[in-house]
A and B are shown apart, each in its own frame.
Chain A
Amino acid sequence: MVLPTASHFDALVALRNVGKTFPNGIVALAGLDFAVRPGEFVALLGPSGCGKSTALRIVAGLSEPTAGSVEWSPATGRGQQSRIGFVFQEPTLMPWASVFNNVALPLKLKGVPAAKIAERVEAVLDRVGLGAFGRAFPRELSGGMRMRVSIARALITEPQLLLLDEPFAALDEITRFKLNDDLLRMWQALRTTIVFVTHSVFESVYLSSRVVVMAAGPGRVFRELAVDASYPRDRGFRTSAEYGGFCRSASEALAQAMAAGGEA
């Protein structure tokens, strides 16, 4: 086990000089360095193909880095992985299982007793506004509702770290704004830590307290921008000059990152 260095001492998890070369020779990441502090809402912003998903999968332990390391705060202890929630770009629900059973899955896999499961599933479904849909099947729901189910499933283990990979990219703007607000509310209520991958400048600024801009070819951190606007944020923030300013600098950083990136 690698001991955390002083500079990352306060981090919940830190990627240190992480590289990922796939067996087919594609270098997806090289020298990727960033840290996530407890309670933070970090947005990972970058052009398509710059390695955002790859980085997120490495944090989740679903993929091993071929260089560098992932360091967890010693306070997390062993088995940090069990405290991770992951939301994929698609809802990724089991089509043969009801909403209830989809959300209950992580607890079933952990062997939580059935009575306890029912209680917790109902609570988390209420939280995402789907209390009445436990018996429905995924295909009977709209795209936005399926995404809520996916979020509920990620939240049910009360994760310390919630990883979301472009979760709202396929949704219409109205639904996306609504889910953005819901996510912010849940983040504050649950006091969890979030890493949110997106390629939308506006979404990254609206949600996060820090935007990590990535460049491609190979994937790396290009720049970090603090979004020093207070929470809770709402529609007023979306139309504020402050928001516009942050969006402009994030946009510029992204444009520069794309110019700096290799073939993407």
Chain B
Amino acid sequence: MSAHRSDRDRREQALRVGLPIFVLVIAVAAWELAVRLANIPPYVLPAPGQILQTLFADRSLLVHSLLVTLVTTFEGFVLAAAGGIALAVLFNQSRLIEYSLYPYAVILQVTPVVAIAPLLLIYLPQHLAVLACAWIVAFFPVLANTTLGLNSVDRNLTDLFALYGASRGETLWRLKLPSALPYILGGLRIAGGLSLIGAVVAEIAAGSAGAGSGLAYRIAESGYRLNIPRMFAALLLLSAAGIVIFYLLSLLNYLALRRWHESALTADK
């Protein structure tokens, strides 16, 4: 019976991986075919093969730009993670601070970052402005999730800590933060993708005026020059970066929680 089951599981797994790849192959082939048959010029729509060629030919330029964007994303992410968690802990410890600052955190979150970016570019050097954008979009999910986590502590465990005379610091460190960890990691997973988006938005806003050389800047620049294949190549790298960030954070989530949290457990193990 169990052999039966694991057979079915394996087939299920193969389908989960195989089907998206199958769809991708079909779509790319159709794209390639359409471009060739209809003789579409590359400045209108480049064929996948040509995009890959461009990716390879411009690799040093594009990889350099990718690194610039990734560094900004990473810095924005780290600051957002640290700031979001720290602010949530502060809110949790002091109601007054929470009441004073929370509305502004919400305002930062609901104002579209595309609209903030040009303003930041006026007041800050470009690198800092891009970083600030990455931070602004990424920190709120960390703040919101951590706050939720810190407030979701088992009441009985809270009582237990009170019974044994735990100080606020001990309660925070040994009870609230571990309880909040799954929520924090969930927030980080969202923040990773968002800080990439924030960085890209700011680079685009800086546009040709900026001296930056991130991937989004490359996309904007290639657009002005009608170098459409390079736009696609840069876009491909951006998506790949986003996917890698997401999976890295999912892996972190899994490694941190696999021994104890329901979300990271596989069935029957």
Whether A105 lies near B260 (C-beta < 8 A) is no
CB pair B163–A84 under 8 Å, yes or no, is: yes
Binary CB contact string for chain A from 149 to 163 against chain B (1 if under 8 A, 0 otherwise): 000000001000000
Interface contact B165-A109, CB-CB below 8 Å: yes
A211 to chain B, nearest CB (A): 25
B67 interface residue (CB < 8 Å to A): no
Hey, which chain B residues are within 8 Å of A94, CB to CB? Answer: 157, 174-175, 178
A109 x B164 contact (CB < 8 A): yes
Q: Residue A34 at the B interface, CB < 8 A?
A: no
Task: Indicate with 1 or 0, residue by residue over B217-252, a CB within 8 angstroms of chain A CB atoms.
Answer: 000000000000000000000000000000000000
A95 touching B260 in the complex, CB below 8 Å, given contacts A88-B156, A109-B170: yes
> What is the bound-complex CA distance between A94 and B260, given in angstroms?
9
Q: Say whether B115 faces chain A, with CB atoms less than 8 Å apart.
A: no
Residue in A62, A92, A139 whose CB lies within 8 Å of B162: A62
- Residues on the A chain within 8 Å of B162, using CB: 62
Known contacts A96-B181, A138-B260, A139-B260; A81/B157 CB under 8 A: no
How far is A96 from B153 in the complex, measured between Cα atoms in Å? 13
Indicate if the CB atoms of A86 and B178 lie closer than 8 Å: no
- The tally of residues in B whose CB lies under 8 Å from a CB in A reads 21
B178 touches A96 (CB 8 A): yes
- Partner of A92 from the list B160, B181, B259 (CB cut-off 8 Å) is B160
User: B12 contacts the other chain (Cβ, under 8 Å)?
Assistant: no
**Is A188 part of the binding interface, using a Cβ–Cβ cutoff of 8 Å?**
no
Q: How far is the CA of A137 from the CA of B262 in the complex (A)?
A: 13
Give the complex CA separation of A82 and B162 in angstroms. 10
**1/0 per position for A39-67, CB-CB distance to B under 8 A?**
00000000000000000010011100000
User: B159 in the interface, Cβ–Cβ < 8 Å?
Assistant: yes
| Structural contact, B156 and A81, CB atoms closer than 8 A | no
Contact B261 A86 (CB under 8 A): no
Report the bound CA distance from A57 to B160 in whole Å: 11
Is A90 engaged at the interface, CB distance under 8 Å to the other chain? yes
Task: Knowing A105-B174, A109-B166 are in contact, say whether A86-B260 is a contact too (CB < 8 A).
Answer: no
C-alpha gap A105/B173 in the complex (Å): 12
Chain A residues positioned under 8 Å from B156 (CB to CB): 88, 90, 92
User: Which residue on chain A has the smallest CB distance to residue B162?
Assistant: A62
Interface centre among B157, B162, B163, B165 (most CB of A within 10 A): B163
CB within 8 Å: A-B pair count: 54
Which B residues touch A96, using CB under 8 A? 178-179, 181, 259-261
Q: Is B165 in contact with A82, judged by CB distance below 8 angstroms?
A: yes
Interface of B is mostly: helix
Contact A137 B166 (CB under 8 A): no
Inter-subunit contact B259/A137 (CB<8 Å): yes
Interface status of B161 (Cβ within 8 A of chain A):
yes
Q: Which residues of B contact A90 (CB under 8 A)?
A: 156
**CB-nearest residue of chain A to B175:** A94
Question: What distance in Å separates the Cβ of B65 from its nearest Cβ neighbour in chain A?
Answer: 41
- Bound complex: CA of A60 vs CA of B163, how far in Å? 7
CB of B174, distance to nearest CB on chain A (Å): 7
Report whether A62 and B163 are in contact in the complex, using a CB–CB cutoff of 8 Å. Answer: yes
Q: Are B164 and A106 in contact (CB under 8 A)?
A: yes
CB-contacts of A100-115 with B (<8 A): 105-106, 108-110
Task: Find chain B residues with CB under 8 A from A81 CB.
Answer: 163, 165
User: Does B58 sit at the interface, judged by CB under 8 A?
Assistant: no
Of A86, A97, A157, which is within 8 A of B159 by CB? A86
Cβ of A160 to closest chain B Cβ, rounded Å = 14
Asked whether, in the complex, the Cβ of A86 is within 8 Å of the Cβ of B163, the reply is yes
In chain B, residues 135-179, which have Cβ atoms closer than 8 Å to a Cβ of chain A? 154, 156-157, 159-166, 170, 174-175, 178-179
Residues of B contacting A137 in the complex (Cβ-Cβ under 8 angstroms): 259-260
Q: A105 touches which one: B164, B179, B261 (CB < 8 A)?
A: B164
Interface residues of B in 180-198 (CB under 8 A from A): 181
Chain A residue at smallest Cβ distance from B177: A96
Q: Which residues of A contact B259 (CB under 8 A)?
A: 96, 137
7 contacts between A and B (CB under 8 A): A62-B163, A81-B163, A86-B159, A92-B157, A92-B160, A109-B165, A109-B170
A residues at B contact (CB < 8 Å): 57, 60-62, 81-82, 84, 86, 88, 90, 92, 94-97, 105-106, 108-110, 137-139, 157
